[in-house]
Chain A
Amino acid sequence: MASEMVTIYVMGKAYEVPHDLTIMKAMEYAGYRFIRGCGCRGAFCGACGTVYRTKDDYRLKVGLACQEMVQDEMYLTEIPFFPGNKATYNLDKLKPNSETVLKLYPEVFRCLSCNTCTKACPQDIEVMEYIQAALRGDIAKAADLSFDCLLCGLCAARCPAEIVQYNVALLCRRLYSSKIAPRAKDLEKRVKEMKRGKYDKEIAGLKSMKRRGLAELYEARDIEPAD
């Protein structure tokens, strides 16, 4: 099946590429070999944030190069790096509240509630909502809403208040998970048992077994029924 061709402009330079490619594959088709701007190739790492515009439209759009399809007359550039502010901290010493967030990232105060970040997010995250939640000190909500964040940086690139949303989100998730969500008790207990060497003997026994004996045990395992 011969593909219909479209014209894209990579940083202003025109290339003819098949219409059914992602921006990433179209750039490779055009002859680019990525060093930056390409990581997982599957919407997990956030390395390939891209800004583009289409013909006769003044609006800037954003997307992930590994996910977004090319369009005819698309003007694009990747933003493979964003010099966002990242606070450093010792998590053990922090409290899960708004003071912590605002001390590490005072710029969160400056949020204008313009919602530009939400519109930019390729993961359809309610970015403004989680920033607002962080501002209010609702750490649990900020953690929950921001969970799917890939750290692509597109929200921060568009934010008029220079907030680095994804770093605020990461802080909130870490605060929530380490300080608000209750610890797993059975896990705590198991860790103690391990320290006491409770299973050492049993494992030593298994280690000394030959293949045949192990296979017998393995085949006879009882399988916990799935719920």
Chain B
Amino acid sequence: MYYTPDMQKSMELVEKTRKERQKQQMPLLDAVGKVGLLESHHPDYIKRIFRKLKVGPSKNTLTPKEFADVLEARSMIDPAKFDVSKIDYDVDVLIVGGGGAGAAAAIVAHDAGADVLLVTKLRVGDANTVMAQGGIQGAAKANDSPAIHYLDVIGGGWYFNDPDLVEALVGDAPDVLAWLEKLGVMFDKDPDGTMLTIHGGGTSRMRMHAARDYTGGEIMKTLKDEVQNRDIPCIEFSPAYELLTDGKKVTGAVLYNMETREYLIARAKTVILATGGAGRLHVDSFPTTNHYGATADGLVLGYRAGVPLVFMDTIQYHPTGAAYPEQLLGQLVTEKVRGLGGQLVNAKGNRFVYELETRDVEAAAIIRECAERKNGVETPSGYSAVWLDTPIIEDIHGPGTIKKRLPAMYRQYQRFGIDMSKTPILIYPTQHYQNGGLKIKVDTETPVKNLYASGEVGGGVHGRNRLMGNSLLDVVVFGKRAGAAAAERAASIRRPGKLTLGHLKKFHKELTAKRVGRNRVAPILLPEYRRPEKAKNKVDILA
């Protein structure tokens, strides 16, 4: 791999200080130190990044500008002209999104006897869920309890979490783990069947269950297999791009077949939004760990239909995103690397923060090191970054540790000619998780009747900060709850509702009155990564 002379020089400094650093004790920050650091350098506190919403059920609340841009935008549909009379699909439960939450909901709703349709933007399983490496929490060991888990969750979320939702999360956790085990998820276990568990940031007990470093992948593949075994109809590459309502209640959705470029009407007694996160909005130009389809569509659809948003002013940035090589930009370097003793080191070869603070604190410390203190290493593409000293792991735990304990990570770098067991790697914070989202109750119903939301698109479970491992848990717990509740409600509805775009008409009117979003269209469905000069020349002759 190519390194600039400056990078090489700095790398030598990292090597030179390695022995010394191994003995060095970094102090933990106290509460005052943490708050000071966050307020000065965490993106959540940088005013310029945010804007107040002017329309919709959460108007006057702050959200990053990139979120406001899609929330305050018009639909591709003109409600005055759009024909909703020809119904292409008529089902009990429509599930929007084929990640972990959507798949879990589909299985449970189907088992409850509902006629289910799952629609998704990419393929089933092309989702943030498949990318989760680290693990899934759940209080299952004798020295642990759901009450202890509760406290970890709510303290981690700065006490803003919805207590009912946290109770559901930690209370369902053992059952959910047992469900996954029975479905054949290959958890790491002792020969006697005891699950191997480790700590995650902010846990007071070792309750992180893993399937090597493909935990989310293993869960996703299993759930997808179950969806297929049940022959649940799935339509891929056909995102929902608008909800349908009878004026009050949700009654279906408009789908868009991205390949034939036609729209389709799905009538449903209940609808579950399970569209995941929003990393591909790139808040303040941050790179992201998220999959290609993480563009906040569910937030946009729900918001227009009248669902308020909670905690949309807080985003989780993962402190260690790959900053070099360019091909890996933004991708996750798992927390486990620091868990195993990997150290954060600046351009001069010095540590600047204890490595196992919470994610927000770590991210802020790295940003400060680069922006304010100018102790970053400049990459060839002009980013500033700091080192994550990985060879030190081999010094601590013995040669071969990285290859054995972090195979996916090791392979990832090896592909680009970097042996992370021999050379340190460059990292910088990356947009990772949407802490907030659509407001829901414990059965995942939103304030808009017959509309449910589960997984990363929902808000309130994690308060203002999610802990690692609680999100995979969230998607299965609330995915299952959504499937059960939506099926039960659907069974109680005799006649399907009227299909209208009344809510959209109203929303468009509000936009016009407030003079916002005139030239913006949302949901965006996919990010734009063509060069501007290429994108500019596009002509939709065949559309």
- The 8 Å CB contact of A188, one of B178, B205, B216, B408, is B178
Q: Which residues of chain B (495-543) have a CB below 8 Å from chain A?
A: 526, 528-531, 534
| Per-residue interface assignment for chain B, residues 210 to 232, with 1 indicating a CB less than 8 Å from any chain A CB and 0 otherwise | 01101011100110011011110
**Does any Cβ of B come within 8 Å of A1's Cβ?**
yes
- The 8 Å CB contact of A35, one of B187, B199, B259, B327, is B259
Q: Which residues of chain B (343-373) have a CB below 8 Å from chain A?
A: none
The answer to whether residues A1 and B380 also contact, given A173-B184, A224-B143 and a CB cut-off of 8 A, is yes
Q: Is the CB of B178 within 8 A of A187?
A: yes
> How far does the Cβ of B200 sit from chain A's closest Cβ, in whole Å?
11
Question: Once the chains are docked, how many angstroms separate the CA of A211 from the CA of B177?
Answer: 30
> How far does the Cβ of A191 sit from chain B's closest Cβ, in whole Å?
5
Q: Considering only CB atoms, which chain A residue lies closest to B174 in the complex?
A: A190
Residues of B within 8 A of A123 (CB): 411
**Does any Cβ of B come within 8 Å of A186's Cβ?**
yes
| Per-residue interface assignment for chain B, residues 74 to 89, with 1 indicating a CB less than 8 Å from any chain A CB and 0 otherwise | 0000000000000000
**Does any Cβ of B come within 8 Å of A28's Cβ?**
yes
> How far does the Cβ of A94 sit from chain B's closest Cβ, in whole Å?
10
Q: Is the CB of A202 within 8 A of B126?
A: no
> How far does the Cβ of B477 sit from chain A's closest Cβ, in whole Å?
13
> How far does the Cβ of A157 sit from chain B's closest Cβ, in whole Å?
16
The answer to whether residues A221 and B204 also contact, given A39-B292, A47-B122, A214-B159 and a CB cut-off of 8 A, is yes
Q: Is the CB of A91 within 8 A of B151?
A: no
Question: Once the chains are docked, how many angstroms separate the CA of A90 from the CA of B292?
Answer: 32
Question: Once the chains are docked, how many angstroms separate the CA of A69 from the CA of B259?
Answer: 27
Q: Which residues of chain A (181-203) have a CB below 8 Å from chain B?
A: 181-188, 190-191, 194, 199, 202-203
Q: Is the CB of B229 within 8 A of A88?
A: yes
Residues of A within 8 A of B195 (CB): 184, 186-187
Q: Is the CB of B204 within 8 A of A185?
A: no
Residues of A within 8 A of B230 (CB): 88
**Does any Cβ of B come within 8 Å of A89's Cβ?**
yes
Q: Is the CB of B178 within 8 A of A191?
A: yes
Q: Which residues of chain B (325-347) have a CB below 8 Å from chain A?
A: 325-328, 331-332, 339
Q: Is the CB of B214 within 8 A of A148?
A: yes
Q: Is the CB of B186 within 8 A of A41?
A: no
Residues of B within 8 A of A69 (CB): 327, 416
Q: Which of these binds chain A: B100-108, B134-142, B245-253?
A: B134-142
Q: Is the CB of B140 within 8 A of A187?
A: yes
Specify which of A32, A88, A199, A221 lies most central, judged by the most chain B CB atoms within 10 Å of its CB: A199
Q: Is the CB of A39 within 8 A of B526?
A: no
Q: Which residues of chain A (110-130) have a CB below 8 Å from chain B?
A: 123-124
Residues of A within 8 A of B289 (CB): 42
Which range contains the number of B residues in contact with the other chain? 35 or more
- Interface of chain A, main secondary structure: loop
Q: Is the CB of B326 within 8 A of A41?
A: no
Q: Considering only CB atoms, which chain A residue lies closest to B184 in the complex?
A: A174
Q: Is the CB of A203 within 8 A of B170?
A: yes
Q: Considering only CB atoms, which chain B residue lies closest to A80 in the complex?
A: B123
**Does any Cβ of A come within 8 Å of B155's Cβ?**
yes
Q: Is the CB of A41 within 8 A of B291?
A: yes
Q: Is the CB of A191 within 8 A of B175?
A: yes
Which range contains the number of A residues in contact with the other chain? 35 or more
> How far does the Cβ of A187 sit from chain B's closest Cβ, in whole Å?
4
Residues of A within 8 A of B178 (CB): 184, 187-188, 191
| Per-residue interface assignment for chain B, residues 172 to 209, with 1 indicating a CB less than 8 Å from any chain A CB and 0 otherwise | 00110110011111110101111100110000111000
**Does any Cβ of A come within 8 Å of B306's Cβ?**
no
Q: Is the CB of B130 within 8 A of A203?
A: no
Residues of A within 8 A of B222 (CB): 170, 174
| Per-residue interface assignment for chain B, residues 157 to 178, with 1 indicating a CB less than 8 Å from any chain A CB and 0 otherwise | 0010001100100110011011
Q: Which of these binds chain B: A6-14, A18-26, A50-58, A71-79?
A: A18-26
Question: Once the chains are docked, how many angstroms separate the CA of A35 from the CA of B198?
Answer: 38
**Does any Cβ of A come within 8 Å of B243's Cβ?**
no
Q: Is the CB of B155 within 8 A of A218?
A: yes
| Per-residue interface assignment for chain B, residues 278 to 321, with 1 indicating a CB less than 8 Å from any chain A CB and 0 otherwise | 00000000000101110000000000000000000000000000
**Does any Cβ of A come within 8 Å of B473's Cβ?**
no
Q: Is the CB of B142 within 8 A of A186?
A: yes
> How far does the Cβ of A155 sit from chain B's closest Cβ, in whole Å?
15
Q: Considering only CB atoms, which chain B residue lies closest to A173 in the complex?
A: B186
**Does any Cβ of A come within 8 Å of B35's Cβ?**
no
Q: Is the CB of B221 within 8 A of A224?
A: no
Q: Is the CB of A224 within 8 A of B174?
A: no
**Does any Cβ of B come within 8 Å of A36's Cβ?**
yes
Q: Which residues of chain B (121-154) have a CB below 8 Å from chain A?
A: 122-123, 125-127, 130-131, 139-143, 145-148, 150-152, 154
Question: Once the chains are docked, how many angstroms separate the CA of A202 from the CA of B171?
Answer: 12
Question: Once the chains are docked, how many angstroms separate the CA of A38 from the CA of B163?
Answer: 38
Q: Is the CB of B529 within 8 A of A150?
A: no
**Does any Cβ of A come within 8 Å of B415's Cβ?**
yes
The answer to whether residues A35 and B258 also contact, given A47-B122, A184-B140 and a CB cut-off of 8 A, is yes
**Does any Cβ of B come within 8 Å of A86's Cβ?**
yes
**Does any Cβ of A come within 8 Å of B412's Cβ?**
yes
> How far does the Cβ of B152 sit from chain A's closest Cβ, in whole Å?
8
> How far does the Cβ of B150 sit from chain A's closest Cβ, in whole Å?
5
Question: Once the chains are docked, how many angstroms separate the CA of A43 from the CA of B414?
Answer: 13
- The 8 Å CB contact of A31, one of B127, B291, B530, is B530
**Does any Cβ of B come within 8 Å of A161's Cβ?**
no
> How far does the Cβ of A227 sit from chain B's closest Cβ, in whole Å?
8
Question: Once the chains are docked, how many angstroms separate the CA of A177 from the CA of B187?
Answer: 8
Question: Once the chains are docked, how many angstroms separate the CA of A99 from the CA of B184?
Answer: 19
Question: Once the chains are docked, how many angstroms separate the CA of A211 from the CA of B158?
Answer: 9
- The 8 Å CB contact of B175, one of A31, A47, A151, A194, is A194
Question: Once the chains are docked, how many angstroms separate the CA of A30 from the CA of B217?
Answer: 31
The answer to whether residues A33 and B529 also contact, given A45-B125, A151-B221 and a CB cut-off of 8 A, is yes
Question: Once the chains are docked, how many angstroms separate the CA of A102 from the CA of B147?
Answer: 47
Could you list some 12 contacts between A and B, CB below 8 A? A29-B530, A31-B534, A42-B412, A44-B216, A45-B126, A89-B229, A174-B183, A174-B225, A184-B189, A203-B146, A223-B204, A226-B339
A39-B293, A42-B332, A173-B186 known, 20 other contacts, Cβ within 8 Å: A29-B534, A39-B130, A40-B126, A41-B291, A47-B126, A147-B214, A173-B218, A175-B184, A182-B193, A183-B193, A185-B193, A199-B145, A203-B146, A203-B147, A206-B150, A206-B163, A221-B148, A222-B204, A224-B205, A226-B206
Top 3 nearest A-B pairs by Cβ distance?
A174-B184, A182-B193, A39-B126
